[in-house]
Amino acid sequence: MTDVPHIPVLIDEVLDALAITPGEIHVDGTFGAGGYSSAMARAGARVFAFDRDPDAIREGQAVADAHGITLIPGEFSRMAEYLAERGIETLSGITLDIGVSSMQLDRAERGFSFQSDGPLTMTMSQDGMSAADFLNNAPEEEIANVIYRYGDEPKSRRVARAIVEARPLERTGQLAAVVRKALGHKPHDKKDPATRTFQAIRIHVNRELEELELALEAAEALLEEGGRLAIVTFHSLEDRIVKQFLRNRSGGDSGGSRHLPERAAGPQPTFAKPAKAVKPGEAELARNPRARSATLRSAIRTSAPAQKSPRSARA
């Protein structure tokens, strides 16, 4: 397979939202190929970047060194703890570009792709439970629930039954064939029927939604007054989590109706009303079709105390 470097998505819009003043400290929670981090450093930020993928860390070290970026191997849900170890307690900006990088998707040996055959791993951090561990050991009902919840697959039960009947599964090609057979793959299908199942298993294996929820809490705790949060997501489940968090923390869902008695005042909003969600324009989509489902949401921290102190990721 090709190994084109990752093209940063919505980079100009992210930089606008971060509004970096030289000398400020910013976190890039998803270093990837370093596209965001290096642009942030060029804008004058002191950047602390994270990635849970050892390949991204190894291959990104030269870029990080060239831009004076501190590159930290680990999950962004634990940023507060990693930063505290380096004496950093507050930040002017945090950005996350959630999801898989082109390097992860395009390398068959990483096991993320249904288009090329590889080992059935799908782990960003290259350790812990793999997709094969999950699919070969979990009960059928749990597999069906994961595929339904994280893949929005209406025929999740049929897919889960086919997976259980085909066990053991060891290769992405095997899994893709099982899913296509279970759902009926027509040559003219615009979208490969395996797409939803692969997305679901990847989200589950990497605990992606839990990571995002923890990172939002960490951002609330770490951003200084006026600090900026900018998050790019690639599917509706993630986008909903960001949207609801920002609505909740900006007082947008405190309700209130002129027909009801006044509610007791809730906690003070920790974020100002978020900016409107941003999608890539035609020019970006022409350059980079992979940007098509990206959504950027951003908001500015108020002076109100954080509503929660950051939890650590699951042990």
Ligand X SMILES: C[S@@+](CC[C@H](N)C(=O)[O-])C[C@H]1O[C@@H](n2cnc3c(N)ncnc32)[C@H](O)[C@@H]1O
Which of 17, 30, 151, 178 touches ligand X by CB under 6 A?
Answer: 30
Nearer to ligand X, 211 or 217 (CB): 211
Which of 48, 50, 112, 271 touches ligand X by CB under 6 A?
Answer: 50
Nearer to ligand X, 36 or 148 (CB): 36
d(C-alpha 73, C-alpha 58), whole Å: 9
**Count of helix runs (H) and strand runs (E) in the chain:** 13, 6
Which of 51, 106, 217, 238 touches ligand X by CB under 6 A?
Answer: 51
- Residue 124 Cβ, how far from ligand X at the closest point, in Å? 4
Q: Which of residues 196-215 bind ligand X (CB under 6 A)?
A: 211
Give 270's contacts (C-beta < 8 A, 6+ positions apart).
220, 249, 250, 301, 302, 304, 305, 306, 307
36 binds ligand X (CB under 6 A): yes
35 binds ligand X (CB under 6 A): yes
Which of 15, 18, 34, 92 touches ligand X by CB under 6 A?
Answer: 34
Exposure string of 248-271, with b = 16+ CB inside 10 Å and e = fewer, is bbbbeeeeeeeeeeeeeeeeebbb
Backbone torsion region of residue 214, taken as left when φ is above 0, otherwise alpha when ψ lies between -120 and 50, otherwise beta? alpha
Which of 13, 24, 75, 153 touches ligand X by CB under 6 A?
Answer: 75
97 binds ligand X (CB under 6 A): yes
Give 261's contacts (C-beta < 8 A, 6+ positions apart).
none
52 binds ligand X (CB under 6 A): yes
d(C-alpha 151, C-alpha 7), whole Å: 25
Nearer to ligand X, 71 or 300 (CB): 71
Give 137's contacts (C-beta < 8 A, 6+ positions apart).
none
- Residue 195 Cβ, how far from ligand X at the closest point, in Å? 17
Segment near ligand X (CB under 6 A); pick from 28-36, 172-180, 241-249, 284-292: 28-36
- Residue 167 Cβ, how far from ligand X at the closest point, in Å? 28
Question: Could you tell me how far CA 16 lies from the centroid of its own chain?
Answer: 20
Segment near ligand X (CB under 6 A); pick from 75-83, 138-146, 266-274, 284-292: 75-83
15 binds ligand X (CB under 6 A): no
CB 122 within 8 A of CB 176: no
Residue 93 CB neighbour total at 10 angstroms: 29
Nearer to ligand X, 269 or 310 (CB): 310
Q: Report the run of H or E that residue 73 belongs to, with start and end.
A: strand 70-73
Q: Which residues bind ligand X (CB under 6 A)?
A: 6, 8, 29-30, 32-36, 50-53, 56, 75-77, 97, 99, 101, 124, 211
